């Protein structure tokens, strides 16, 4: 396992952080699963509360999509640890700063490339 400029301790730390993040995201997706079922009309329920319910549901669906994408990103980071490309920017091939990896263990780009790609979106 070669992960560039990271020490063995740092690799271990980030590996643990990724595992933890993965568990949290999976738990979040499981706990919100029932909430995305179609909204049912209930007796004694006014129009406004149904609107509220639909609104809450759309927020929940959006959060779930964010969590799903993050989970994918975490899984990709884990496979990059295995193939030894973890910790390097996908764009410029420079090592990603350890401080950035600590904050976002699933980061695939250095801060420079990340902000450049977001700027062009």
Query: Interface residues with Zn ion (CB under 5 A)?
Result: 89, 91-92, 110, 113
Nearer of residues 63 and 76 to Zn ion, judged by Cβ: 76
CA distance 89 to 91: 5
* Helix, strand, coil share (%) of the chain residues, nearest 5: 65, 0, 35
- Taking the complex as a whole, the smallest distance from the CB of residue 6 to Zn ion amounts, in Å, to 16
CA separation for the pair 89, 107 (Å, rounded): 8
Min dist. Cβ of residue 41 to Zn ion (A) = 51
Q: Distance from CA of residue 109 to its chain's centroid?
A: 14
Nearer to Zn ion, 50 or 100 (CB): 100
The residue (of 53 and 91) whose beta carbon lies closer to Zn ion is 91
CB of 4 to Zn ion, least distance (A): 13
Taking each helix axis from N to C end, the angle separating 47-83 and 8-31, rounded to the nearest 10 degrees, works out to 150
Q: Tell me how long the chain is.
A: 121
CB of 94 to Zn ion, least distance (A): 5
User: What contacts 75, CB < 8 A, 6 or more positions away?
Assistant: 22
Question: Which CB sits closer to Zn ion, 71 or 77?
Answer: 77
């Amino acid at each position: 396992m070669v992960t560039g400029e990271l020490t063995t301790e740092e690799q271990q730390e980030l590996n643990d952080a990724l595992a933890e993040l993965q568990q949290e995201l999976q738990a979040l997706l499981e706990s919100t699963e029932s909430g995305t079922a179609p909204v049912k009309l209930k007796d004694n329920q006014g129009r406004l509360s149904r609107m509220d319910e639909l609104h809450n549901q759309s927020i929940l669906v959006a959060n779930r999509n964010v969590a799903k994408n993050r989970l994918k990103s975490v899984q990709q980071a884990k496979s990059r640890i295995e193939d030894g490309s973890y910790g390097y920017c996908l764009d410029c091939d420079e090592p990603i700063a350890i401080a950035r990896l600590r904050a976002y263990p699933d980061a695939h780009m250095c801060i420079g490339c990340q902000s450049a790609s977001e700027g062009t979106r």
